[in-house]
Amino acid sequence: MSFFKKLKDKFTVSTDSVTEKFKDGLTKTRDNFSNRVNDLVARYRKIDEDFFEELEEILIQADVGFETVMELVEELKLEVKRQNMQDPKDVQSVISEKLVEIYQSGEEAPNELNMQEDGLTVILFVGVNGVGKTTTIGKLAHQFKSEGKKVVMAAGDTFRAGAIEQLEVWGERVGVDVIKQGAGSDPAAVMFDAIQSARARKADVLLCDTAGRLQNKVNLMNELEKVKRVIEREIPGAPHEVLLVLDATTGQNAMIQAKTFKDATNVTGIVLTKLDGTAKGGIVLAIRNELHIPVKFVGLGERMDDLQQFDAEKYVYGLFSNLIEKETDEE
């Protein structure tokens, strides 16, 4: 049974709303990527070096990342040789299988958040200004609250004009308390207050916003370290997650940001926003494979419930859904 057939059996017999969100949210990438792969296999009658060179180009242009592309193509060559494949169409299913394998390699359930069963879970959000950090915090607050959890948000971005007010708007929208101080105040002091307030309210989750002035990189990273020290002093083992928010539409610039923050702080996961707005959704694989940081959430639209926990198989199904449905319908 081909990997396409397995994905179809898994996701289209009783297609759920989350799978549909991945399918809809990856439309631009699918139109760019899988359609070009489809054109490629239609033009070639045999699998040769020219075929693989064009495939490399398609993958690189989808922002899959150079290292990941080289690894993927080498594995494809071995698989083609092992199975004695002759028809280029047979490679499409193997590509999808290898993409899932690359993402999942060496990790068990990497997209699960480290939630505390007993006591307060503290999640720290980092990232440059303009990537959708505050919106992500608001959407996650909505998710947690809909699961019956008591949530508090901390307005730790005290420098960007309007950042505190923006978080307050989200707090009102989802019905969650926001702990704040005045503009320009010490972010670490805000975190201290937020922890005390969250405890007093017997909250389950504390979501902490931070500044994102990457142009003042040294000061920003020192500030993040101070915030983390205060949190850890008050709650040993916290923050339980440090989520780096990246804008998928910025492509390789997002990779540069990820490397910068990874070097400066212990990033435990990525939130990739605006994946629905880019034709280069392969950045998910580049981040995971080259930086070894799991993508925990992806933004697949503007609505409150369009921030979804990342799932490698649903991601690949979203990338190849047109080819999957066509191939399996022909069987």
Per the annotation, binding residues for GTP are: 127-134, 209-213, 273-276
Straight-line distance from the first to the last Cα atom of the chain, in angstroms, rounded to the nearest whole number = 11
What span, in angstroms and rounded, lies between the C-alpha atoms of 151 and 235? 17
Instruction: Say what angle helices 89-104 and 283-291 make with each other, to 10 degrees.
Output: 50
Q: Where are the beta strands (DSSP E) in 193-263?
A: 205-208, 241-247
- Of the candidates 43, 55, 58, the one whose C-alpha atom is nearest the C-alpha of residue 80 is 55
Sequence-distant (≥ 6) Cβ neighbours of residue 152 within 8 angstroms:
176, 177, 178, 179, 194, 197, 198, 201, 203, 205, 206, 207
Residue 23: phi, psi to the nearest 5? -65, -50
Give the CA angle between residues 327, 329, 331 to the nearest 5°. Answer: 75
Binding-site members are: 127-134, 209-213, 273-276
Which is nearest to 210 in space by CA: 283, 150, 265? 265
305 near 13, Cβ under 8 Å? no
Q: Which of 140, 108, 104, 64 is nearest to 298 (CA)?
A: 140
Inter-residue contact 141 to 167 (CB < 8 Å):
no
The single residue listed with the structure tokens 């017999």 is 13
